[in-house]
Each structure stands twice: as structure tokens, then as C-alpha cells.
């Protein structure tokens, strides 16, 4: 099998004879590569596989058989129960409404804030940024209590507003993420635009956003996953079951009297599938190459 040495352009005038790396055949490299991919796939997929198996088994098979065994007679009964007896259709709709609103606002406003922190000059920039970061470092368990009382006094408890409002105006994680990314955009780009008389808004929306596709979509994914899987806050801020989101609906199946494993896992799958679909659609935008080199200075 012909080995392939690393190639340097023959036309390079300053070519220096480089010591050839050991001639590992390309075929061996490829085989190792795909073997590694297979192992990775097994590690990451097996737990999901088990939960998928369990979602299609009745409760007695879940406990009496090994979770690794595929269902002997797969049944849709768990899913049927979720949507007929337990109102999961409603929970799905609630979660979708709240998460989409939350995500749209969060990404937009965080991006604006991130751009300001990254590429605009104003007094107090460092201090304000550290204030944003500092709030991430306080465990959110106890902060929920004053927040809850605030919402109670504002008569916003048990409404959709309560579920997304604390997050929709932007959150420090996403601001931090996008700020890091915006700081890799050369300052000269913005300076040139400013000299040409562009307003900051124009710069942000016409120049920065188009080249920040991957990070915007990453931020959207981040926001969406967070909103979709949020549990403690929606739980304490809603009373009526008609406002339940999926995570809260799922928690109902763990009572001190019984744990309905089949329903919990079916419910988790119901929560998971929309996210997998969303992610699969957008993942290529996240990881497709961007080219900062398209910007000429």
C-alpha cells in the first residue's frame, strides 16, 4: 500500500527539507479513526438506547428484566397514557411557548450586551461585566426565594410571564459566550465602519451578525436547552397543573408511594425528541466553517 508522506507545496521558495514523519499508512489511520468514532458512538448512545428500550416496555418488564434487553413486545401504551391520562400534550405546548419566547429574547438581548462589552468603549465596562459574571457564581437555590416573593408581589405568579421573564432579557452565560466570540473579530472592522459613518446598530446587525452565525446558533441552542429543561423555577412559580412544563409533569411520576419508571422514561423521551430534531437541523450551522478570512483589512 503506497504510503503518503505529508505534502509541502513544491513551489515554496523557502522550502526546507523537513524530516518526514513516520510513514503510517493512510488506511491504518482511517481505520483507527473510525474505530474511535465507533467507540465514541457506543459510549454516548448506549444510555439513550436503554431509556428508549424502557419507554416502550410496561413497568413489570422494566424492573424484572435487564435494562439492556430490548422490549420483547414493544408497546406504545406508555406514550398513550402520557397524552390521554396525563395531559402531556398541554405540557408540551406550554414548554414550547415559554422556551421559544425565552430563547428569542435571550439571544437577541444577550447579543446586544455582548457586543457592547466586546467592542464598544464606555465607562464602567469592566465593572459591569464582572457584575454579570459574579451573579453566575451564586448558587441559584436560595436566590429563588427572594425572586419568588418579588413575582408574588407583582401578581405574576401562575402565569406564562413568570416562567420566562427572569431569563428573556438576557443572561450572563450567553453574554459571556458571545462576548468572547466577538472579541475575536478584528477591531479594525468596526473602526472602518464607524469611520464610514455607520451607526452601531448597523454595525451589529449588518456586519457582526452575518459573520457570527455559528455562535448565534450555539447561543440559541444553549438558551433553548436551558429553557426546555428548567425545573425548579417553573415548579415553584406555577400552581395550576394546566401551566406545567414537561419537566414538572415528569416529576409527578415520582411519588413517595410509587415510582412509575415507564412513564418517567417515556416522558423524558417526549421531552427529548423535539430537542434532538432541533439540534440536528441546526448543528451544521454551528460547526460549519466560518471564515473570518473573508473579511479583508
Partner 1 sequence: MTAAAAPILVPKHEKTADTAEAAERRQVRSAFTFLAPSLIGVVLFLVIPVIFVIILSLTQWNLLTPIRWVGFSNYANIFRFDGFGHSLLVTAYYVLLNIPFQTVLALGLAMLLNNKLPGSGLIRVICVLPFLATPVAMGIVWNWFFSPTTGIINELLGHIGITGPAWLSNSATAMPVIAFANIWQYVGYNMLFFLAGLQAVPAALYEAAGLDGASKVQQFRRVTLPLLRPALLFVLVTSVIGSFQVFDTVYVMTDGGPGNATQVANLNIYNTAFAGFRIGEASAMSVVLFVLILIITVAQFRYFNRRTVYEIA
Partner 2 sequence: MNAPRRSRSPLSWHSVRPVRTLGRVAIITAVLALLAGCAADWGFGSNGGASGTVTLTYALWDPHEQIGYQQSIDEFEKLHPNIKVNIENIPYGSYEQKIIAEFITGGAPDLFWVNTPWLATFIKDGILTNLAPLIKSSNVNMSQYYPQLVALHSKGSAIYGLPKDWDTIALYYNKAYFAKLHLTVPANLSWNANGTGSFVTFLKQATTDTSGHNALSPQFNPGKIATYAIGIDNDPQGGWGDYVAEAGGKVLPYPGAPYTSLDTPQVNEGITFLTKYLTGDHVMVPGSLSGPNANGNNLEQMFSQGQVAMWEQGDWNTLSVKSSVTFPVGVATLPIGPDGRVSVFNGLIDGLNTHTPYPKQAWELEQWLGSPQSEAILGSGGYVWPAIKSLDPLFLNYWQKQGIDMQAFLTEAQGKVVNFPNSPGIGDALTDVVNDLGPAYLGTESVSAALKSAQGDADYVLRTS
Q: Interface residues for partner 2 in 194-213 (CB under 8 A)?
A: 206-207, 209-211, 213
User: Taking Cα atoms as reference points, which of 132, 120, 227, 212 lies closest to residue 171?
Assistant: 132
Q: Which of 160, 169, 193, 198 binds partner 2 (CB under 8 A)?
A: 160
Q: Which is nearer to partner 2, 99 or 129 (CB)?
A: 99
Report the site for partner 2 in 107-146 (rule: CB under 8 A): 107, 145
* DSSP secondary structure of 187-255: HHHHHHHHHTT--HHHIIIIIIHHHTHHHHHHHHHHHHHHHHH--HHHHHH--SGGG--HHHHHHTTB-
Report the site for partner 2 in 95-114 (rule: CB under 8 A): 96-97, 100-101, 103-104, 107
Q: Distance (Å, rounded) from C-alpha 18 to C-alpha 21?
A: 9
**248 contact choice in partner 1, partner 2, none (CB below 5 to 8 Å, kind-dependent):** partner 2
Cα three-residue angle 84-85-87, rounded to 5 degrees:
70
**71 contact choice in partner 1, partner 2, none (CB below 5 to 8 Å, kind-dependent):** none
Smallest separation, CB 236 to partner 2 (Å): 5
Q: Is residue 241 a contact point for partner 2 (CB under 8 A)?
A: yes
Q: Distance (Å, rounded) from C-alpha 243 to C-alpha 241?
A: 5
Q: Which is nearer to partner 2, 28 or 232 (CB)?
A: 232
Q: Distance (Å, rounded) from C-alpha 61 to C-alpha 265?
A: 13
Smallest separation, CB 5 to partner 1 (Å): 13
CB 178 within 8 A of CB 114: yes
**186 contact choice in partner 1, partner 2, none (CB below 5 to 8 Å, kind-dependent):** partner 1
Cα three-residue angle 142-145-148, rounded to 5 degrees:
145
Task: Give percent helix, percent strand, percent coil of the chain, each to the nearest 5.
Answer: 70, 0, 30
Q: Is residue 256 a contact point for partner 2 (CB under 8 A)?
A: yes
Phi, psi dihedral angles at 252 (to 5 degrees): -60, -20
**229 contact choice in partner 2, partner 1, none (CB below 5 to 8 Å, kind-dependent):** partner 1
Phi, psi dihedral angles at 254 (to 5 degrees): -105, 90
User: Taking Cα atoms as reference points, which of 142, 118, 145, 141 lies closest to residue 129?
Assistant: 118
Q: Distance (Å, rounded) from C-alpha 23 to C-alpha 253?
A: 59
**48 contact choice in partner 1, partner 2, none (CB below 5 to 8 Å, kind-dependent):** partner 1
Q: Would you call 258 exposed, middle or buried from its count of C-beta atoms within 10 A (0-12, 13-18, 19+)? A: exposed
Site size with partner 2, rule: CB under 8 A: 63
**143 contact choice in partner 2, partner 1, none (CB below 5 to 8 Å, kind-dependent):** partner 1
Smallest separation, CB 141 to partner 2 (Å): 11
Q: Is residue 229 a contact point for partner 2 (CB under 8 A)?
A: no
CA 270, distance to chain mean position in Å, is: 17
Q: Which is nearer to partner 2, 45 or 63 (CB)?
A: 63
Q: Which of 260, 267, 270, 271 binds partner 2 (CB under 8 A)?
A: 260
Choices 33-41, 123-131, 172-180, 215-223; region in contact with partner 2 by CB under 8 A: 215-223
The DSSP bridge partners found for residue 92 are: none
Residue numbers at the binding site for partner 2 (CB under 8 A): 9, 58-60, 62-65, 86, 93, 96-97, 100-101, 103-104, 107, 145, 148-149, 152-153, 155-161, 206-207, 209-211, 213, 216-217, 220, 232, 235-236, 239-243, 248, 251-260, 282, 285, 291, 293-295
Amino acid at each position: 500500500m503506497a504510503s503518503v508522506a505529508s505534502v509541502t507545496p513544491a513551489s515554496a521558495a523557502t522550502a526546507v527539507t523537513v524530516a518526514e514523519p513516520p510513514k503510517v499508512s493512510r488506511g491504518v489511520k482511517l481505520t483507527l479513526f473510525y474505530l474511535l468514532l465507533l467507540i465514541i458512538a457506543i459510549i454516548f448512545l448506549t444510555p439513550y438506547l436503554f431509556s428508549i428500550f424502557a419507554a416502550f416496555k410496561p413497568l413489570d418488564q422494566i424492573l424484572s428484566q435487564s435494562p439492556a434487553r430490548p422490549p420483547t413486545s414493544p408497546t406504545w401504551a406508555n406514550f398513550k397514557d402520557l397524552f390521554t391520562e396525563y395531559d402531556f400534550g398541554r405540557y408540551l405546548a406550554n414548554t414550547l411557548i415559554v422556551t421559544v419566547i425565552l430563547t428569542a429574547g435571550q439571544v437577541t438581548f444577550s447579543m446586544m450586551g455582548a457586543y457592547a462589552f466586546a467592542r464598544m468603549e464606555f465607562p464602567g465596562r469592566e465593572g459591569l461585566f464582572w457584575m454579570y459574571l459574579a451573579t453566575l457564581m451564586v448558587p441559584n437555590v436560595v436566590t429563588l426565594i427572594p425572586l419568588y416573593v418579588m413575582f408574588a408581589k407583582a401578581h405574576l405568579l401562575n402565569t406564562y410571564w413568570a416562567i420566562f421573564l427572569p431569563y428573556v432579557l438576557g443572561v450572563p452565560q450567553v453574554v459571556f459566550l458571545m462576548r468572547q466570540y466577538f472579541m475575536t473579530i478584528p477591531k479594525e472592522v468596526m473602526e472602518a465602519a464607524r469611520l464610514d459613518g455607520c451607526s452601531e446598530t448597523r454595525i451589529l446587525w449588518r456586519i457582526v451578525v452575518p459573520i457570527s452565525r455559528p455562535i448565534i446558533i450555539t447561543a440559541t441552542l444553549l438558551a433553548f436547552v436551558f429553557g426546555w429543561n428548567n425545573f425548579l423555577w417553573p415548579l415553584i412559580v406555577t400552581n395550576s397543573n394546566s401551566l406545567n412544563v414537561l419537566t414538572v409533569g415528569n416529576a409527578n411520576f415520582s411519588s413517595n408511594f410509587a415510582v412509575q419508571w415507564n412513564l418517567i422514561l417515556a416522558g423524558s423521551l417526549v421531552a427529548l425528541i423535539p430537542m434532538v430534531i432541533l439540534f440536528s437541523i441546526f448543528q451544521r450551522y454551528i460547526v460549519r466553517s466560518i471564515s473570518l478570512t473573508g473579511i479583508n483589512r
